[in-house]
Chains A and B, each alone.
Chain A
Amino acid sequence: MPIKIALAGNPNSGKTTLFNALTGSNQYVGNWPGVTIEKKEGKLRSDTYRDVTIVDLPGIYSLSPYTLEEVVARDYLTGENPDAIINIVDGSNMERNLYLTTQLAELGIPMVIAVNMMDVVEKNGDKINLDKLSEKLGCPVVGISALKRSGIADAAEKAVELAQNKVPMVPRHRFSENIEQALAGIEELLHGKVDEKQMRWTAIKVFERDIKVMERMAFDDALKSRIEDIVSQCENELDDDSESIITNERYLYIASIIKDCYKRKSNVKMTTSDKIDRVLTNRWLALPIFALVMFCVYFISVTTVGTWVTDWTNDVLFGEIIPPAVEGFLSSIGTADWLQSLILDGIVGGVGAVLGFVPQMLVLFLFLAILEDCGYMARVAFIMDRIFRKFGLSGKSFIPILIGSGCGVPGIMASRTIENERDRRMTITVTTFIPCGAKLPIIALISGALFGGAWWVAPSAYFAGIIAIICSGIILKKTKLFSGDPAPFVMELPPYHRPLAGNVLRSMWERAWSFIRKAGTVILLCTIVIWFASNFGIVDGQFTMVEDLDDGFLAKLGSIIAPIFAPLGWGFWEAAVASLTGLVAKESVVGTLGVLYGFAEVAEDGQEIWGLLAASFTALSAYSFLLFNLLCAPCFAAIGAIRREMNSGKWTIFAVGYQTLFAYVVALSVYQLGSLFAGNGFSAGTVVAILAVAFFLYLLLKPSNERKLKAATVSANI
């Protein structure tokens, strides 16, 4: 018999760690609430049980969802009838965690409680009486450490047994007399309308006037008013609203359990985590520290450690070793010239150009993984909230943005933890402004080729992204589409812990591997297409392989769109085509330049792609090229993610259109005004740029029409 076991518990209580341990999966684990945003299924690894599926759910604080990903968990638990629940409870934070437990118990689904982090509990010298807890709650309780993998098989076994024997969970807990009477009254009215097993849960939810449940039940008016009579009578007796009555009762019950089952050794007021927070979230130091951290991350990964390795891969591996070797091999087996060119100029040149940047990505991903795993990520959201709020975004928007610095797709998906739809749409629109891992090769290429690896280029790309986000926040917030205050910020902060080597390396490798895989598939395909399109053309009315790439199809096509980019300083077809291929994948920009500037020729004529590239660009036009490619529409994968999360074609077009327009205006202004200051004289472009900047400043500074109105409603809104 196939069995489904759901993992339910508070955010950041270790569900995914347990899921990975039970199923042997490699799901991503992070140290902030909201890492898991979708349910994931896996087969239980066991010799005794064959057909057991484990379902990992997003973390929830209660069965009344507050954000989108919490809805997923609640709908699964209340709608899909899993055969058993393993309720994960963080042993170091029992009181809060048991609040959800009291609600899960009412669902009537067989349940096992797994008290996680027992190792931490023991280290703190605290004691949990598991037997007594089991007796009080009326279900098996197992002490586990998902991280150390102790007790997990026991927990799974107990859950499977319960599921096989179909032992329904019967909550031991009774509310006080008046409430029980009211619930009994409601249950009587609901009789025959609700599955008996879910009766108690439904009755309580109806008592709380839960909107979702009431909608689903679709009672007629007569029944509604009879229920309402019962509820309001109870409210009058207890002088509180029904929802608060239940909440308070739950916490009282939990307090009585904790008193009997939990012995805390000492009440340390300031934990180590608090002491770290005193510094990292200090009122004056928080922002400078954050800026310094991000500066170091980009500086080190692009300019120092990353470059040492990348220089070697680019110059030696893909410069002196591979091309001559491949060429020698191809010549020795007598390959046709065109095929040799395809392989050398096309594939080795294009894919090699991308792969050359993998070391830099590895360093970047290593740093990001460390930041995510140690617990700093959630703090950054907190630090940035005050500032972001001034610009119409909530601090919660910062988590998608930080994740987006690895890859935009999960970044956009992480926006689900934002409860307010307006805030979420805005976050999705601005998330990809932050340079993702795939844009790193573009940054590194421009920084290396045009700026001699100057220290400021890479960090400036990151801060340009942040400034773009802030400016967009200000501008968009003033439009009707996004007006209104961001939702109030409330977020649990996990304790800091030393990053775990396993987690960090896995997360680094997984991200890097997806890039390498992409280089072998999408980028490979793209470079082949680029090679054919650039090397073939019609010369003298005949379809032929061209001598000069300028005669190829690609050059002809590129020349049509190139003038669009002329005001940005790079109106030549190579750059235009490269930007266009960025839609396929951002690394493709570098791959395309690699093909078009004959990366593989390096060994022959001694001139590097960097030299050729430098000849085509000026420092200013290169920076404008960089800015445009960083800020414009993201790759198709990310656009797809925007489409899914926006759930609307119109909003997708809006987001992508806004990004591209914004990128164009910024690149134009930087190039034109830069030229002016460099003493290149006044031109029509300069006028346009000045107008653009003036309009931009106007949008930025104009008072919001609704500010006055908002001020009046603001207190009512919170």
Chain B
Amino acid sequence: MPLSMAKEGEVRLIRKVGGKPEVKQFLESLGFVVGGTVTVINEIAGNLIVNIKNSRVAISREMAGKILV
């Protein structure tokens, strides 16, 4: 399912990172890689704050929908 649907506090395994090549590359450099784990910390109107490789990243709903967990 897309990351946008994950519940707060759940540790999730990343299965796929989609999106345009340059966006995907940027997400990967931030740590969003297949096989890595991600935890949703907070949600506001669909935008998420997630814990990825121990740093906090804010990500919009559209983007979160492109990351499958």
Residue positions of A touching B, CB distance < 8 A: 61-62, 64, 66, 92-93, 95-96, 99-100, 243-244, 247-248, 251, 269, 273-274, 277-278, 281-283, 286, 378-379, 381-383, 385-386, 389, 395, 488-495, 717-718
14 contacts between A and B (CB under 8 A): A66-B26, A93-B55, A244-B34, A277-B56, A281-B42, A378-B58, A379-B58, A382-B49, A386-B60, A488-B60, A489-B47, A490-B26, A490-B59, A492-B56
Are A282 and B21 in contact, with the CB atoms below 8 A? Answer: no
CB contacts (< 8 Å) of B9 on chain A: these are: 269
Q: For the complex, is B30 an interface residue (Cβ under 8 Å from A)?
A: yes
Are B28 and A718 in contact, with the CB atoms below 8 A? Answer: no
Other-chain contact of A489, B21, B55, B63 (Cβ < 8 Å): B63
A102 → B minimal CB distance (Å): 11
Other-chain contact of B57, A282, A379, A493 (Cβ < 8 Å): A493
Given A248-B33, A248-B34, does the pair A491, B26 have CB atoms closer than 8 Å?
no
Given A489-B58, A491-B58, A718-B63, does the pair A95, B31 have CB atoms closer than 8 Å?
yes
Other-chain contact of B45, A273, A283, A492, A718 (Cβ < 8 Å): A283
Known: A96-B30, A489-B59, A491-B58. 19 other contacts (CB 8 A): A61-B26, A62-B28, A64-B29, A99-B29, A100-B29, A243-B21, A248-B33, A248-B34, A274-B41, A274-B51, A277-B41, A385-B60, A488-B59, A489-B47, A489-B60, A490-B59, A490-B60, A492-B57, A493-B58
List B residues 20-69 near A (Cβ within 8 Å): 20-23, 25-31, 33-36, 39, 41-47, 49, 51-63, 65-66
Are A488 and B45 in contact, with the CB atoms below 8 A? Answer: no
Are A96 and B31 in contact, with the CB atoms below 8 A? Answer: yes
Given A96-B30, A718-B65, does the pair A66, B22 have CB atoms closer than 8 Å?
yes
Are B29 and A385 in contact, with the CB atoms below 8 A? Answer: no
Given A64-B29, A248-B34, A382-B58, does the pair A283, B66 have CB atoms closer than 8 Å?
no
Count chain B residues whose beta carbon lies closer than 8 angstroms to a beta carbon of A.
41
A432 → B minimal CB distance (Å): 26
| Assembled-state Cα–Cα distance A382/B58 (Å) | 6
Other-chain contact of B33, A251, A278, A492 (Cβ < 8 Å): A251
CB contacts (< 8 Å) of A248 on chain B: these are: 33-35
Given A490-B27, A718-B19, does the pair A273, B56 have CB atoms closer than 8 Å?
yes
CB contacts (< 8 Å) of B20 on chain A: these are: 717-718
Other-chain contact of B44, A100, A383, A389 (Cβ < 8 Å): A383
Given A248-B35, A281-B49, does the pair A64, B25 have CB atoms closer than 8 Å?
yes
Task: Identify the closest chain B residue to A493 (Cβ).
Answer: B56
| Assembled-state Cα–Cα distance A475/B62 (Å) | 23
Given A66-B26, A251-B33, A277-B42, does the pair A490, B63 have CB atoms closer than 8 Å?
yes
CB contacts (< 8 Å) of B56 on chain A: these are: 273-274, 277, 492-495
The number of residue pairs between A and B whose CB atoms lie closer than 8 Å in the complex comes to 128
Are A66 and B25 in contact, with the CB atoms below 8 A? Answer: yes
A55 → B minimal CB distance (Å): 22
CB contacts (< 8 Å) of B58 on chain A: these are: 378-379, 381-382, 385, 395, 489-493
| Assembled-state Cα–Cα distance A395/B44 (Å) | 13
| Assembled-state Cα–Cα distance A106/B11 (Å) | 33
Are A96 and B47 in contact, with the CB atoms below 8 A? Answer: no
Are B55 and A96 in contact, with the CB atoms below 8 A? Answer: yes
Are A491 and B57 in contact, with the CB atoms below 8 A? Answer: yes
Are B53 and A286 in contact, with the CB atoms below 8 A? Answer: no
| Assembled-state Cα–Cα distance A244/B33 (Å) | 9
CB contacts (< 8 Å) of B60 on chain A: these are: 385-386, 389, 395, 488-490
| Assembled-state Cα–Cα distance A213/B27 (Å) | 20
CB contacts (< 8 Å) of B63 on chain A: these are: 488-490, 718
| Assembled-state Cα–Cα distance A389/B62 (Å) | 11
CB contacts (< 8 Å) of A92 on chain B: these are: 54
Are B47 and A382 in contact, with the CB atoms below 8 A? Answer: yes
B34 → A minimal CB distance (Å): 7
| Assembled-state Cα–Cα distance A251/B30 (Å) | 11
CB contacts (< 8 Å) of B66 on chain A: these are: 718
CB contacts (< 8 Å) of A379 on chain B: these are: 58
Other-chain contact of B30, A61, A395, A489 (Cβ < 8 Å): A61
Task: Identify the closest chain B residue to A487 (Cβ).
Answer: B23
| Assembled-state Cα–Cα distance A279/B55 (Å) | 19
Are A718 and B41 in contact, with the CB atoms below 8 A? Answer: no
Are B44 and A282 in contact, with the CB atoms below 8 A? Answer: yes
B42 → A minimal CB distance (Å): 6
| Assembled-state Cα–Cα distance A378/B57 (Å) | 10
A716 → B minimal CB distance (Å): 9
Other-chain contact of A488, B23, B34, B41 (Cβ < 8 Å): B23
Task: Identify the closest chain B residue to A95 (Cβ).
Answer: B53
| Assembled-state Cα–Cα distance A495/B41 (Å) | 13
Are A283 and B44 in contact, with the CB atoms below 8 A? Answer: yes
| Assembled-state Cα–Cα distance A632/B66 (Å) | 41
CB contacts (< 8 Å) of B28 on chain A: these are: 62, 244, 247
Task: Identify the closest chain B residue to A243 (Cβ).
Answer: B25
CB contacts (< 8 Å) of B19 on chain A: these are: 488, 718
Task: Identify the closest chain B residue to A491 (Cβ).
Answer: B58
Other-chain contact of A386, B47, B49, B57 (Cβ < 8 Å): B47
CB contacts (< 8 Å) of B46 on chain A: these are: 386
Given A93-B53, A286-B44, does the pair A251, B26 have CB atoms closer than 8 Å?
no
Query: Ordered nearest first, which 6 A-B pairs have the shortest CB separation?
Result: A62-B29, A489-B60, A61-B29, A382-B58, A386-B45, A66-B26
B10 → A minimal CB distance (Å): 11
